[in-house]
Chains A and B, each alone.
Chain A
Amino acid sequence: MLETRGLTTSFGGLLAVNQVDLRIVQGEILGMIGPNGAGKTTFFNLVTGFLNPTAGQILFKGKDISGLPPSRIASLGICRTFQITSVFPGLTVWENLLTGTYCWTQTRFMDTLFHRRGYHRQRQEIEKQGEEILEFLGLHNQRHILARNLSYGDQRRLEIGIALASRREVLLLDEPAAGMNPEETQMLSRDIQQIRQKGITIFLIEHHMQMVMRICDRVVVLNYGRKIAEGTPLEISRNPQVIEAYLGKEEDFA
């Protein structure tokens, strides 16, 4: 589904991402781990068009998408969340979800102008999806609260909600569990698995090792911009290079 070949980017001589080959299969949950500064978010930025590669290719469903702007990549089917919570702060939860549907909602202008049937049909579909997402994320009671007034955890969930609203095939989650307590992380893990069951491919960056071990089908490890290991969670946890990369870090290793 999604593939990178020799993906490289450098900032003034420093290779933030160095010749990374990666393949993501449709419907899987792929985790990316690595010490801080390993280049994981940079990798995400490359894949989603927020950064341009200096070398290498990114292929989505066989098509080369390297160098395309983020909005184009999103319209092709890839959506992402950000390390720092990104929602639409001045809008309510409900409005946030409605806004996320941009990619796939296209009504004839005349229909909207006069509120004709086409408009209402589209509207119903959007609202139905909105309700579903609210239910799924447990934000039902907060639908009229401004996003900026939500608690941190709720904002995080809303962010995923917006990504879900866009109905993309591939979801890139950048540290979705950051700042969450174990209970919240559990719920998040369950949610992510449920999302995968709807057929969405998930690629996530995480530091919460337990979560990674539990839900990922495969794991890729980055260190200093290079891919140093790839395999099932079990294989990774036994990989001496990976362990060495993490020596001195405080991540708990299941």
Chain B
Amino acid sequence: MNAALRKSILLPSLVLLLLSLPWIFPATYTRHILVMSLIYTFSAMGLNVIFGFAGQAAFGQPAFFALGAYISSLLSLKLGLPFSLCLLGTMAISTGFGFIIGYPCLQLRGIYFGITTMAFAQIMYYVVSNWVELTRGPMGLVGIPAASFRVGDFFQIEFNNELKYYYLVLAASLLTLFFLARFMETRLGRAFVAIRENQELSSSIGIHPLWVKMIAFMMACMITSMGGSFYAHFVKFVSPIEFQWYYIGLTFIMVITGGIGTIVGPFIGGAIFTIIPEVFRAAETYRNILVGSVLILIVIFFPEGIVGKLAQWRKNRNLPLGEKEHA
């Protein structure tokens, strides 16, 4: 099966599958899980941009998910903005944060960069927990309005149930995915990968490491925070818990099990690691033991991630299934 044929069959069928999932699993509970895994996919996609493509291990990245959730909630609660503006505002503001935080952090390399981003993430956590006037601290923000779109007086739709929200987030994530795939075909996208592979060589062919990494970081922040925004208007409650350490690991897990540096990987990783904890929810007390064990097994036996592994069975290369060629 050559690449073109593969693409024209596989992609539409995947999209079709995604469209029909809420009907295959119609219970409210399962639909809830589907929505959540799509939401977490944003987190994974964001991390994928800075870590998968640009190769910088930003441990603090998932904090932008929480940040996005808070910004979006505050925009709608305090300023009464409609959802679309909240989303856009969140994207803009977190990109700004990405700039402010990214600049100092990216002066460092490797694990030092990672830990500094983590330090910023922790600081964000403490600020949010303690700035009670703004964020109500540990009590969190409640009553966040559902997302709704309104065009004049005739068209209004409120995304207040799982089904509608699923399609909303699905549309958004597919659009983001499309955007990312095309972006990786630009010279900037190639520059991300170049930096990951060999930073010195990249600078000798004209790529400015700091600025390119900054852009990658800001993009990652933007995308991750979108997930946070969707989260806030779905769950309608945010609290500092979202900043917790647990989510950092979980997001990395999603990206790596899905397949680092692939376009579709985060989707799969996001799905797996939202679904697995739910599957084990029945065994409530043993849940973390099971999830942790699954994680260890996956890392040991499927290091390229699910998507990567499948690709390896096809040819001796790391070009994953369904990926739009990004070279």
**Stretch from A16-24, A96-104, A190-198, A221-229 forming part of the interface with B:** A96-104
A7→B206 CA distance, assembly (Å): 23
Of B179, B191, B197, chain A has the most CB atoms within 10 Å of the CB of B197
In the complex the two chains form, is B205's CB within 8 Å of A144's CB? no
In the complex the two chains form, is A69's CB within 8 Å of B327's CB? no
At the interface, yes or no: A57 with Cβ under 8 Å from chain B?
no
In the complex the two chains form, is B206's CB within 8 Å of A166's CB? yes
| B196: A residues at CB distance < 8 A | 90
| B198: A residues at CB distance < 8 A | 86-89
At the interface, yes or no: A215 with Cβ under 8 Å from chain B?
no
In the complex the two chains form, is B185's CB within 8 Å of A112's CB? yes
In the complex the two chains form, is A71's CB within 8 Å of B203's CB? yes
Q: A102-B205, A112-B186, A113-B182 are in contact. Are A90 and B191 (CB under 8 A)?
A: no
| A114: B residues at CB distance < 8 A | 182
In the complex the two chains form, is A109's CB within 8 Å of B186's CB? yes
Nearest chain A CB to B254 CB, angstrom units? 21
Of B197, B200, B205, chain A has the most CB atoms within 10 Å of the CB of B205
| A102: B residues at CB distance < 8 A | 187, 190-191, 194, 202, 205-207
At the interface, yes or no: B209 with Cβ under 8 Å from chain A?
yes
In the complex the two chains form, is B200's CB within 8 Å of A86's CB? yes
At the interface, yes or no: A105 with Cβ under 8 Å from chain B?
yes
A161→B37 CA distance, assembly (Å): 43
Chain B minimum-CB-distance residue to A163: B205
In the complex the two chains form, is A105's CB within 8 Å of B187's CB? yes
| B183: A residues at CB distance < 8 A | 112-113
Q: A99-B193, A106-B187 are in contact. Are A79 and B205 (CB under 8 A)?
A: yes
Q: A82-B201, A90-B197 are in contact. Are A71 and B317 (CB under 8 A)?
A: no
Chain B minimum-CB-distance residue to A88: B197
Contact residues, B202-223 vs A (CB, 8 A): 202-209
Nearest chain A CB to B297 CB, angstrom units? 25
| B122: A residues at CB distance < 8 A | none
| B208: A residues at CB distance < 8 A | 69, 71-72
| A87: B residues at CB distance < 8 A | 198, 201
Nearest chain B CB to A129 CB, angstrom units? 14
In the complex the two chains form, is A91's CB within 8 Å of B197's CB? yes
At the interface, yes or no: B30 with Cβ under 8 Å from chain A?
no
In the complex the two chains form, is A107's CB within 8 Å of B191's CB? no
| A72: B residues at CB distance < 8 A | 208
Nearest chain A CB to B141 CB, angstrom units? 35
In the complex the two chains form, is B327's CB within 8 Å of A75's CB? no
In the complex the two chains form, is B203's CB within 8 Å of A70's CB? yes
At the interface, yes or no: B318 with Cβ under 8 Å from chain A?
yes
Chain B minimum-CB-distance residue to A109: B186
Chain A minimum-CB-distance residue to B191: A102
Chain B minimum-CB-distance residue to A70: B203
Chain A minimum-CB-distance residue to B55: A90
In the complex the two chains form, is A144's CB within 8 Å of B327's CB? no
| A109: B residues at CB distance < 8 A | 186
A95→B319 CA distance, assembly (Å): 12
In the complex the two chains form, is A74's CB within 8 Å of B203's CB? yes
Chain B minimum-CB-distance residue to A89: B197
At the interface, yes or no: A156 with Cβ under 8 Å from chain B?
no
| A115: B residues at CB distance < 8 A | 182
Of B183, B200, B201, chain A has the most CB atoms within 10 Å of the CB of B201
Nearest chain A CB to B8 CB, angstrom units? 14
| B205: A residues at CB distance < 8 A | 74, 79, 99-100, 102-103, 162-163, 166
Nearest chain A CB to B193 CB, angstrom units? 7
A91→B195 CA distance, assembly (Å): 12
Q: A91-B197, A94-B327, A146-B317 are in contact. Are A48 and B190 (CB under 8 A)?
A: no
Nearest chain A CB to B36 CB, angstrom units? 29
In the complex the two chains form, is B204's CB within 8 Å of A98's CB? no
| A113: B residues at CB distance < 8 A | 179, 182-183
Q: 7 more A-B contacts (CB under 8 A) besides A69-B208, A98-B327?
A: A69-B203, A71-B208, A89-B198, A94-B327, A99-B193, A99-B327, A112-B185
Give the top 3 A-B pairs by smallest Cβ distance, nearest first.
A88-B197, A103-B206, A74-B206
Instruction: Show 30 A/B contacts (Cβ-Cβ < 8 Å), sorted by A.
Output: A48-B204, A50-B203, A69-B203, A70-B204, A71-B208, A75-B206, A79-B205, A80-B204, A86-B198, A87-B201, A90-B196, A90-B318, A95-B327, A98-B327, A99-B191, A99-B205, A99-B327, A100-B205, A101-B187, A102-B187, A102-B202, A102-B206, A103-B205, A105-B187, A107-B187, A112-B186, A113-B179, A114-B182, A146-B318, A162-B205
- Which B residues have a C-beta under 8 Å from some C-beta of A? 179, 182-183, 185-187, 190-191, 193-194, 196-198, 200-209, 317-318, 327
